[in-house]
Amino acid sequence: MGAWPSLSNVIFALIFGAGVGYFTFNMRRLVALIKKGRPVGPVAHKKERWRNVLYIALGQSKLVKRPVSGLMHVLVYLGFVIINIEVLEIVIDGLFGTHRIFQFIGPAYGVLIGLFEVLAVLVFFAVVIFWLRRNALKLKRFWSPEMSGWPKKDANLILYFEMVLMGLFLMMNASDLSFQQLNQGNWISGSIYSMIQDWPQAQLHLIERICWWTHIVGILGFLNYLYFSKHLHILLAFPNVYYGRVTPAGQFENLDSVTEQVKLMMDPAADPYAAQPEGTVPEKFGASDVTDLTQVQLLNAMTCTECGRCTSECPANQTGKLLSPRKIMMDTRDRLMALPKEGESKQLLDDYISRDELWACTTCNACVEACPVSIDPVSIIMAMRQYLVMEQSAAPSELNVTMSNIENNAAPWPFNQQDRGNWINE
Amino acid sequence: MEKALNVPTMAECQAQGKLPEVLFWVGCAGSFDDRAKKITKAFAKLLQASGVSFAVLGAEEGCTGDPAKRSGNEFLFQMQAMMNIEVLNGYGVGQIVTTCPHCFNTLKNEYPGLGGSYQVMHHTQFLKNLMDSGRLKVSGGSFRGKKITYHDPCYLGRANGEYEAPRALLSALESELIEMKRCKTRGLCCGAGGAQMFKEPEKGNKDINIERSEEAIETGASFVATGCPFCNTMMTDGVTAKGAESKVAVMDVAELIAKAADL
């Protein structure tokens, strides 16, 4: 080992700093975007929320409800998290010019690396199966209209990234002469090494260095790719599950702004001609754009990884309607990401989500139930219906009839309220 | 005309200085829809047979506001809610049972925030309690050994997590309960929720109730049991559209139990 810092240590520090720095910059942008939503105030049921994080996010309890994709996902997730312990060693080695610094822990090091290698192979094959499911088997949920173009490319890019990273990790170990000669933990890479062991030492060393560098640069690249990708869910799933619904799925939020007005209307002592206090801005009812949604709804949108389990369970989608809960989430995210550029020249309603989609929802909550990370598309649909009805009076005409019946005779049909008890004597 | 039921209203009870054990919230469908009225009557008979003291609001009951809220009209929903809460609180109502999962969900989950907190039960939950405590005897009668499939109403199942009470009642009928492929948490909606009941469906290639009815018919069951007047309408229409009405009858859980007991 030469003097520290060597040129390669400096280059490593620069690349590493740039990778972490740009990632941090984008995460701040992400937080700023989510904060464009309405604040939600303090959250209750903290204990239950942490329980959800433990079971639903960490334990992936809802993912494994579909056993094939679920178990493979658990494998890729565990593999990826555990193998990334290795990144810590790579960073220390890179910065300080050491080589496999963790070897000082003794035989346990071999077991650890051996385990990483087995996981790397399993992850590699799981990812290949994922690719086949998406591209060869053409599972319906991966071929909806909203999955053409970038979303499809994005999904495949992630899979290629993971395949390459796992391959580089194994190749890096296989071409590491001192590691192979130690013969501890080269459970998988040992057999690759046996094929290349006759190659000149210098060549092996070169391959090892190339793999080592590409591997760490690839990881930093992948980290920075997240912000531009649906793959952001590997980070946001945790806060999203924490902020997810803990009340019954059927309980829709009561709008406080409406409660105030209704109480005023029903209060015989209230002065109907009283002027609004100076400076009060009448609150907008419902949502026509992302800034009308709550921060939790925007976090939902940024978390969505487009798996499409919601859409595949949606009764409206299954019967050929335009509505796709996944598209609702993707549209919300796309509009939010485009907000700084588009400004108010566009909005979520009509420019992204059509009214036909909104009115096709039966509020059955199948999408909410299906989501492995507690995303709630129904709440966004409801907020947009509220805008259409309360701000624009733009409900489908049959619903206007229904609503005026409720208003006039307290039933959705035109029957007299006085006749409600007639069934008793019929 | 069958023998009139002797069901008192809350106003009558109050005039006699009596407070019934439970308020039966009938709902709009249960009050006005001819098919749903049969469910209302079957349930009332079961309550009477179990010796439950109950009353209805009659003309003082109004739509809970569920279809208005799900249409996006929060104003109308809260108006309805506050008027109903005033009536319910005025009578000091503590316990409510209803044969409609939409009323059940709204009363149970959305009224407390507006000042109306009650112990609200769906009629299948209430009947199961009566059965468990021995007040209601459920036996097979003409349904013994018959194949029954149960359609989960969204607002009872996914919305409120109740999957077992209706199934426990159906098992007590000594029937053969066959599940559809999509059941319980993954149950397919009948197509009526979210105020869809009151409008034409959006453009698609199939109606949701047809999709669901096909699944129910495929099980080979002679009865499709439901726990919701709107599911009942949707499934009945679907079964009829498939020309299967002579083989498959759509009935509420309460109707099945009442019929088995010859009420």
**Percent of chain B surpassing pLDDT 90:** 97
Task: Return averaged pLDDT per consecutive 10 residues of chain A, 426 residues in all.
Answer: 84 98 98 97 94 97 95 93 90 95 93 95 96 95 95 97 96 95 93 95 96 97 97 97 97 94 85 72 91 98 98 98 98 97 97 98 98 98 98 97 97 97 94
Angle at A398 between CA A397 and CA A399, to 5 degrees: 90
ipTM score assigned to the predicted complex: 0.96
Q: Which residues pair with B98 in a beta bridge?
A: B25, B122
**Closest chain A residue to B196, measured at CA:** A362
Residues of A in contact with B78 (CB under 8 A): 254-255, 258-259, 262
Structure tokens at A294: 């709550």
State whether residue A282 sits within 8 Å of chain B by CB: no
Q: Which helix (H) or strand (E) holds A216?
A: helix A201-225
Q: Which helix (H) or strand (E) holds A29?
A: helix A7-34
Residues of A in contact with B203 (CB under 8 A): 320-322, 356
Contact criterion met (CB < 8 Å) for B188 and A390: no
CA distances from A291 to A36, A295, A297, A388 (A): 6, 9, 10, 16
Contact criterion met (CB < 8 Å) for B32 and A411: yes
The candidate with the shortest Cα–Cα distance to A188, out of A206, A205, A171, A200, is A171
**Closest chain A residue to B188, measured at CA:** A315
Among B78, B109, B114, beta carbon nearest to A250: B109
Contact criterion met (CB < 8 Å) for B71 and A363: no
A338 φ, ψ (degrees, to nearest 5): -90, -5
Contact criterion met (CB < 8 Å) for A262 and B79: yes
Contact criterion met (CB < 8 Å) for A402 and B198: yes
Q: Three-class SS string for B39-105?
A: HHHHHHHHHHHCCCCEEECHHHCCCCCHHHHHHCCHHHHHHHHHHHHHHHHHCCCCEEEECCHHHHH
Q: pLDDT-based confidence at B2, cuts 50/70/90? A: low
**CB B253 within 8 Å of CB B166:** yes
Q: Which residues pair with B193 in a beta bridge?
A: none
Contact criterion met (CB < 8 Å) for B67 and A406: yes
Listed as own residue / partner, the contacts of A188-194 with beta carbons closer than 8 Å and 24 or more positions apart are A188/A114, A188/A117, A188/A118, A188/A120, A188/A121, A189/A117
pLDDT confidence of residue A85 = 87
Q: Which of B63, B74, B89, B181 to mutate to test binding with chain A, by most A CBs within 10 Å of its CB?
A: B74
Domains and CATH numbers, chain B: 10-129 (3.40.50.1860), 137-260 (3.40.50)
pLDDT confidence of residue B242 = 98
State whether residue B69 sits within 8 Å of chain A by CB: yes
**For chain A, what are the domain ranges?**
7-34+66-243, 256-272+281-419
Residues of A in contact with B79 (CB under 8 A): 262, 265-266, 407
Contact criterion met (CB < 8 Å) for A320 and B9: no
b/e per residue B80-90 (b: at least 16 CB within 10 A): bbbbbbebbee
pLDDT confidence of residue B49 = 96
**Closest chain B residue to A397, measured at CA:** B199
DSSP assignment of A127-183 equals HHHHHHHHHTS--GGGSSGGGSSHHHHHHHHHHHHHHHHHHHHHHHHHT-HHHHHHT
CB-CB neighbours of A251 under 10 Å: 17
Q: Around A307, how many Cα atoms within 13 Å sit in the side-chain half-sphere?
A: 23
Residues of A in contact with B9 (CB under 8 A): 421
Contact criterion met (CB < 8 Å) for A411 and B63: yes
Contact criterion met (CB < 8 Å) for B110 and A415: no
Structure tokens at A210: 């190339």
Contact criterion met (CB < 8 Å) for B203 and A356: yes
Structure tokens at B192: 């009526």
B173 CB-contact burial (10 Å; exposed 0-12 / middle 13-18 / buried 19+): buried
Is A413 strand, coil or helix? coil
State whether residue A64 sits within 8 Å of chain B by CB: no
For the cut 80, the answer to whether the pLDDT of residue B4 exceeds it is no
- In sequence order, what are the residues at sequence separation of 6 or more whose Cβ sits closer than 8 angstroms to the Cβ of residue B33? B229, B233
Contact criterion met (CB < 8 Å) for A396 and B113: no
Q: Which residues pair with A349 in a beta bridge?
A: A353
State whether residue A377 sits within 8 Å of chain B by CB: no
Contact criterion met (CB < 8 Å) for A363 and B70: yes
pLDDT confidence of residue A324 = 98
Between CA B216 and CA B49 the distance in angstroms is 31
Cite the DSSP H helix spans in A352-418: 355-359, 366-370, 377-386, 397-409
Q: Which helix (H) or strand (E) holds B218?
A: helix B208-218
**Closest chain A residue to B194, measured at CA:** A362
Q: Which residues pair with B97 in a beta bridge?
A: B24, B121
State whether residue B87 sits within 8 Å of chain A by CB: no
Between CA A162 and CA A340 the distance in angstroms is 31
The candidate with the shortest Cα–Cα distance to A283, out of B112, B69, B113, B75, is B75
**Mean pLDDT computed over every residue of chain B:** 97
Between CA A155 and CA A152 the distance in angstroms is 5
Between CA A423 and CA A159 the distance in angstroms is 63
Domain A256-272+281-419: CATH architecture, name and number where available: Orthogonal Bundle (1.10)
**CB A190 within 8 Å of CB A214:** no
**Closest chain B residue to A363, measured at CA:** B194
How close is the nearest chain A Cα to the Cα of B93, in Å?
18
Mean pLDDT across the stretch B126-133?
Answer: 98
pLDDT digits 0-9 by tens, B110-121? 999 999 999 999
CA distances from A219 to A10, A17, A278, A363 (A): 18, 13, 56, 41
How close is the nearest chain B Cα to the Cα of A424, in Å?
6
pLDDT confidence of residue B197 = 96
Contact criterion met (CB < 8 Å) for B195 and A399: yes
Between CA B256 and CA B263 the distance in angstroms is 10
Residues of B in contact with A382 (CB under 8 A): 70, 72
pLDDT digits 0-9 by tens, B6-64? 999 999 999 999 999 999 999 999 999 999 999 999 999 999 999 999 999 999 999 99
Residues of A in contact with B62 (CB under 8 A): 410-411, 417
Between CA B83 and CA A255 the distance in angstroms is 17
Among B73, B160, B211, beta carbon nearest to A389: B73
Given the structure tokens 């409900």, which residue do they identify?
A395
State whether residue A408 sits within 8 Å of chain B by CB: no
Among A385, A399, A425, beta carbon nearest to B198: A399
Q: Is B220 left (phi over 0), alpha (psi -120 to 50) or beta?
A: left
Contact criterion met (CB < 8 Å) for A321 and B105: no
A209 CB-contact burial (10 Å; exposed 0-12 / middle 13-18 / buried 19+): middle
**Closest chain A residue to B83, measured at CA:** A266
Question: A–B: how many Cβ contacts below 8 A?
Answer: 226
Contact criterion met (CB < 8 Å) for A250 and B155: yes
Among B5, B32, B56, beta carbon nearest to A415: B32
CA distances from A402 to A6, A64, A272 (A): 77, 42, 28
> 3-22 in B: which are within 8 Å (CB) of A?
4-5, 7, 9
Contact criterion met (CB < 8 Å) for A403 and B194: no
Sequence length of chain A is: 426
DSSP assignment of A187-211 equals TTHHHHHHHHTTS-HHHHHHHHHHH
Angle at B81 between CA B77 and CA B85, to 5 degrees: 175
